[in-house]
Structure 1
């Protein structure tokens, strides 16, 4: 009998031990974190815990359309955070006329985060917050390209999020200006970004992140957003470092339509409220009172999205919607702030790609037409971009657009930060994968650095991953991680990336052969003449 009891005890003990291991594994696979609004259950995949679809603001629908983000309603129990939330409403690519893209919704204010599995509260991991691009009319934080797995594997907690897009993100109308006069108006996308950063500040410690070591980074419209956050007073103190990838820096570039360059925007200057009235008129809504606003709020989401990038209404009236100098939230442009030294004093990493776009900002059907865009600087432009008369038009257009919109403004921004005593690291991404070199003969196009920054190479559209691609991705990802951890991208085993020195004509280049290093900037003549064009009276 005694032997039977002992045997049963051993079996029971082993069963308990086995069950404990199963329970521990289950807890690791489904980590639970308590936030200010309620508890969340994530998932663990390959040593990385992921929490998806976390609401950081209430749905901006109904009466909250064109209002600042409202507080999240707390929930009871444990909320599933294994799946991404909807994207913010957008036309996207391939959406049918009069509809929004599949998977998008006006209820789209959700964020996602990746962290090393088993991270405990109080671990104080560095935090990186990614702001997606997409011309302020498409994109989301849940795109496969933005997976934070490789950042998490290096001890960084990565956050991505959605923000309102198009006319839902940027809109002004007289009745809106009168409604809730205590609230900021117009730039709802920026308000969403600030709300996401405030969520991070309040909640990230529960996931093991350090709210006092937050790096914001973004590309294209996301980079423009970083410029704005660096200069918006309401964003001060929400982050400690910043990275801008192909985000411009001059007033001439906010969303792909300059606010000061009449050559690129035939409607300049038109007030944001006038644009709002034009949009209302397109939908048969007259007047500017509360009744007209109620009709605007009753429009379908598809009517508001309106094709995503439509800029003109009936009769050619401008209805383009983008960032607004509203005087309350956005009190000045980034260029204005940089020239006055009014940006926040933090470390900055900034750069652009070697062949961003072939047209779109400066357009021309001949070299003569291209040069005519620059008025009395046409001779200087010709000497810089076509010194022997043999540069083909397509290449000239690519380089002119690249330098005017991204490369020179990046250098200008780096100069402004250094002048204020902040360290700046300036890069030039010139790497083109071997499998695409025949197609991309002028250099690295817009957004092509993103898979390398995230070390997330996906074979598609003729791209085949080669060993060199993997090394460039590993290297860039480590530089970005190092910067997030310490404000300095350098570490043992990487080529030295010096702090940018305006007195030297140097830039850190990710080169065509897959190597990287600080070099003399061969673009100097081009960038100098673009500076003259940007700063001429």
Structure 2
């Protein structure tokens, strides 16, 4: 090799290295008002997406800021930069079914952003903001099921942490005036951060989809109705969570007073000071454990109507943006199964006991007439499936229908789906492949399809890949969600617009493909005739632990009947960590 050729090669390599450094600097760092954020590339196959993880959006809610509204993070990052290559700690988890591993911290109000590596401030890409579920007690934006890499190839994706359990929802009356609903305020502040900063990542702050699942779906529905959320997002998708009636301030204050007593602060000269001196472990120990079977109304620390942050029941108003809400056909089987010591041995007596404890003696005969155990005689545990059917409709399908009805009043666009596909891969740890056919289309099973997690399931280290037809189905789901963020209405991959729910209850039935169909929720006529009141007392039997509730019957429609075709239940004999 001649000297001139060698010199030319060195010069070429030098210029190439300068180019690579320039490209890396462009794609792996973003500058906002607080300083420079350094991210990292997603792993294969999404190597053209950059993740910026653990970005603070609020000051740490510790000390005097514990049980106060969040305050915007308006400081300069230390040394003007932040290494956003790992997730921040999760907020503290509560209850006996915590799904997220440590570390935990009260300093948890951080968010994550995923963006295409080639995005610039002029890209004006649609934005999708995710809210996780967990019954207000558990959950984290770092959960691998919510990895944004797969849906950020042509959009900006954001997820945030919000405070949980009593740290997120504790409500106390005068003179303390702890407002509660801090979790709602956290999400609102994260959305404000998006408005102020997302253009730096290449996002369009005018096309923001807010979407969530379970409690995240409930919060998305609540936020869609709030006047103070106007302009923070342009459309909403609520997965398995919309339409529930919220508790009142009086109910939450009663819960809060019991909590203060449990911490030994009730008679303190400075109650607020006593509460803020408690360690997270002490707070966790004083927190009541949630019942395994969810009730019609959340009865412990949760979002509630306070007349200010949440001025009225979400069902008493309507979403102020285009709205989509849907459910899975087998939501309730997971909750029913984990609620009994011996689920295969659940009997009609257990079923009636569940109805009596949960809904009150006055409704047992009415509910069992709509959901007779005999309807499920073809299963290995008919009484268990009857409970699962009640759970699915009372907790998910019928509240969702109520939310859809309120959305119709705005005529901004109302859409629904029924997820009826059984995944061929486990999507969370704890599920094995041989159990999938027993689970059916159950709670959370749509999420890997929505997030484009097609390979290596369950994330992050699984070995199962979705089938070719399932990958096409995932593309359809991603297309619909992307279209909601851009247009305010969902479309199929071929560009066809989804039918509006106002057109005879039309929605999309999701099997191995998407088909337009009337989503039959006629059994909800029965549940719409029942008004829940309150739930406070814990009752223990030899086979289950439940909270006692009282129910007021407004009316019972004699014509109401349960359409068993909308919910098929098959038992899975295993324990699963749930994201409720």
Structure 1 and Structure 2 fold alike (TM over 0.5): yes
Cross-structure match for 1:193 = 187
Contact preservation (8 Å) 2:176, 2:272: no
Cross-structure match for 2:28 = 31
Going from structure 1 to structure 2, the CA distance change for 1:360 and 1:233 (only over 3 Å counts) comes to farther
**What CA distance in whole angstroms lies between the structure 2 residues aligned with 1:282 and 1:463?**
46
Cross-structure match for 1:146 = 146
Cross-structure match for 1:348 = 323
* Matching residue within 65, 68, 83 for 1:80: 83
Moved more, 441-450 or 464-473: 464-473
Going from structure 1 to structure 2, the CA distance change for 1:81 and 1:247 (only over 3 Å counts) comes to same
* Matching residue within 300, 313, 328 for 1:333: 313
Going from structure 1 to structure 2, the CA distance change for 1:285 and 1:92 (only over 3 Å counts) comes to closer
**What CA distance in whole angstroms lies between the structure 1 residues aligned with 2:355 and 2:259?**
35
Contact preservation (8 Å) 2:500, 2:507: no
**How much has 1:468 moved relative to structure 2?**
3.6
* Matching residue within 323, 327, 347 for 2:303: 323
TM-score by length of 2: 0.77
* Aligned 1:69-108 pairs, distance under 5 A: 69-72=70-73, 73-75=75-77, 76-91=79-94, 102-108=102-108
* Matching residue within 281, 287, 298 for 2:277: 298
Contact preservation (8 Å) 2:218, 2:244: no
**What CA distance in whole angstroms lies between the structure 2 residues aligned with 1:491 and 1:271?**
44
Cross-structure match for 1:357 = 332
**How much has 1:447 moved relative to structure 2?**
1.4
Going from structure 1 to structure 2, the CA distance change for 1:490 and 1:37 (only over 3 Å counts) comes to same
Moved more, 385-394 or 450-459: 385-394
Cross-structure match for 2:165 = 166
**What CA distance in whole angstroms lies between the structure 2 residues aligned with 1:442 and 1:53?**
34
**How much has 1:424 moved relative to structure 2?**
0.9
Going from structure 1 to structure 2, the CA distance change for 1:308 and 1:209 (only over 3 Å counts) comes to farther
SS at match of 2:516: strand
Going from structure 1 to structure 2, the CA distance change for 1:476 and 1:282 (only over 3 Å counts) comes to same
Whether 2:263 is the aligned partner of 1:277: answer: no
Contact preservation (8 Å) 2:240, 2:326: yes
Structure 1 residue runs without a partner (length 5+): 179-183, 261-268, 313-317
* Per-residue deviation, residues 471-514 of structure 1 (Å, max 9, x unmatched): 32222122111221212211453776311126x24331112xx1
Going from structure 1 to structure 2, the CA distance change for 1:287 and 1:93 (only over 3 Å counts) comes to closer
Going from structure 1 to structure 2, the CA distance change for 1:15 and 1:494 (only over 3 Å counts) comes to closer
**What CA distance in whole angstroms lies between the structure 1 residues aligned with 2:129 and 2:490?**
17
* Per-residue deviation, residues 69-103 of structure 1 (Å, max 9, x unmatched): 112122242221111111111247788xxxx9521
**How much has 1:43 moved relative to structure 2?**
1.6
Cross-structure match for 1:41 = 38
Cross-structure match for 1:53 = 54
SS at match of 2:50: strand
Cross-structure match for 1:67 = 68
Contact preservation (8 Å) 1:377, 1:533: no
Cross-structure match for 1:223 = 217
* Per-residue deviation, residues 266-301 of structure 1 (Å, max 9, x unmatched): xxx953233222212112223376x12101100001
**How much has 1:250 moved relative to structure 2?**
3.0
**What CA distance in whole angstroms lies between the structure 2 residues aligned with 1:63 and 1:52?**
27
Contact preservation (8 Å) 2:198, 2:205: yes
Whether 2:384 is the aligned partner of 1:394: answer: yes
* Matching residue within 382, 403, 407 for 1:417: 407
* Aligned 1:442-481 pairs, distance under 5 A: 443-457=440-454, 458-460=456-458, 465-481=466-482
Cross-structure match for 1:214 = 208
Going from structure 1 to structure 2, the CA distance change for 1:215 and 1:101 (only over 3 Å counts) comes to same
**How much has 1:147 moved relative to structure 2?**
1.1
Cross-structure match for 1:137 = 137
**What CA distance in whole angstroms lies between the structure 1 residues aligned with 2:256 and 2:372?**
43
Contact preservation (8 Å) 1:168, 1:305: no
**What CA distance in whole angstroms lies between the structure 2 residues aligned with 1:33 and 1:143?**
24
Contact preservation (8 Å) 2:95, 2:290: no
**How much has 1:55 moved relative to structure 2?**
0.3
**What CA distance in whole angstroms lies between the structure 1 residues aligned with 2:97 and 2:215?**
21
**What CA distance in whole angstroms lies between the structure 2 residues aligned with 1:288 and 1:272?**
21
**What CA distance in whole angstroms lies between the structure 2 residues aligned with 1:176 and 1:119?**
50
Whether 2:241 is the aligned partner of 1:247: answer: yes
Q: What root-mean-square deviation, in Å, do the aligned CA atoms of Structure 1 and Structure 2 show?
A: 3.4
Moved more, 85-94 or 36-45: 85-94
**What CA distance in whole angstroms lies between the structure 2 residues aligned with 1:424 and 1:410?**
12
Contact preservation (8 Å) 2:89, 2:102: no
Contact preservation (8 Å) 1:431, 1:444: yes
